Amino acid sequence: MLRYFYAPNTCALAAHIALEEVGAEYEPVRLNFKTEDQKKPDYLAINPKARVPALVTERGVLTETPAILAFIAQSFPDAKLAPTEPFAFAEVQAFNNYLCATVHVAHAHRVRGARWADDPDALEAMRRKVPESVGAGFELIEREMLQGPWVMGESYTICDPYLLTLTRWLKADGVDPARFPKVQAHMARMRERPAVQRALEQHKT
């Protein structure tokens, strides 16, 4: 059976939703970041990055949200969470990697600035920049990437739970969600899905 390590208010929500969507048999393992469970030896033996998510499979441990999402989609092809045609699948990966490498990193400058700097002034400068940088990322998603009704158009894919996850952070990042009506409509559709509701229930704080 799969084991899925997650923590509330993290990007681990995305793959958690995907696991629910495909009906996977898995054991959810919740970590408490307030007590730094992610830095304890037992978890570091699973994921030495000291981050979530981590998915323990029969073949080994997977980390990084785009990789886990792709694994879930390809392991449960009947759920059709990703296209099988190479170019279309690459487009899915391109969107998810943009969220991972650009939008999520911009968000992290507010709450995880110590990864990049120690100087208090530098940390404060990073925090001030977050509304602009995160907002710019979502402007591009709203204008160019979100095809509607789902990210890739008519087909629901692994892009959709990932976008929902980052959309939920907008207000805390100082970005007015009303600037992005297509993104907000997407979030409303997502919240209607039973799999999303089940995953969100497990992420309640």
Strands (E), 7-72: 26-30, 54-57, 60-63
CA 171 to chain centre: 16
Average pLDDT over every residue of 5-15 = 97
136-189 pLDDT per residue, tens:
999 999 999 999 999 999 999 999 999 999 999 999 999 999 999 999 999 999
Going from the C-alpha of 17 to that of each of 63, 147, 185, 188, 195, the distances in angstroms are: 16, 21, 18, 15, 6
Q: Which of 141, 143, 176 is nearest to 159 (CA)?
A: 141
pLDDT for the residue 73: 98
Task: Quote the tokens at residue 120.
Answer: 């208090």
Domain ranges of the chain: 2-80+198-202, 86-193
Going from the C-alpha of 107 to that of each of 33, 76, 127, the distances in angstroms are: 17, 31, 9
CATH of 2-80+198-202 given 3.40.30.10, 3.40.50.720, 3.40.640.10, 3.40.366.30: 3.40.30.10
200 pLDDT tier (thresholds 50, 70, 90) = very high
- Give the SS3 label for residue 92: helix
CATH architecture of 86-193: Up-down Bundle (1.20)
- Please say whether the beta carbons of 150 and 162 come within 8 A: no
Going from the C-alpha of 62 to that of each of 46, 91, 172, the distances in angstroms are: 9, 21, 29
pLDDT for the residue 205: 83
φ/ψ of residue 154, rounded to 5: -75, -20
